[in-house]
Amino acid sequence: MKYLYLHGLGQKPDSWNKVIKGTKVSESSINLSLAEMLEGKSATYKELYSVFSSECGKEKGGIVLCGLSLGAVLALNYAIDHPDKVKALVLIAAQYKMPKKLLKVQNMLFHLMPNSAFNKMGFKKADVISLCGTMAELDFRDSLHKVSCPVLVVCGEKDNANKKTSKELCHYLNNSCFHELMKTGHEANLEAPEELAIVLQKFYDSIR
Res. 20 pLDDT band, cuts 50 70 90: very high
This prediction has a pTM of: 0.95
Share of the chain above pLDDT 70, in %: 100
What CATH architecture is 2-97+139-207?
3-Layer(aba) Sandwich (3.40)
pLDDT tens-place string over residues 141-171: 999 999 999 999 999 999 999 999 999 999 9
Q: For 189, how many CA atoms within 13 A lie in the half-sphere containing its CB?
A: 30
Question: How many Cβ atoms from other residues are within 10 Å of residue 53's Cβ?
Answer: 15
Domain residue limits, the chain: 2-97+139-207
pLDDT of 119 reads: 78
Specify the pLDDT at position 105.
81
Give the separation between CA 2 and CA 140, rounded to whole angstroms: 25
Q: Which residues of 74-104 are buried (b: 16+ CB within 10 A; e: fewer)?
A: bbbbbbbeeeebbbbbbbbbbbbebeeeebe
What contacts 118, CB < 8 A, 6 or more positions away? 124, 125, 128
Quick check: 30 pLDDT over 90? yes
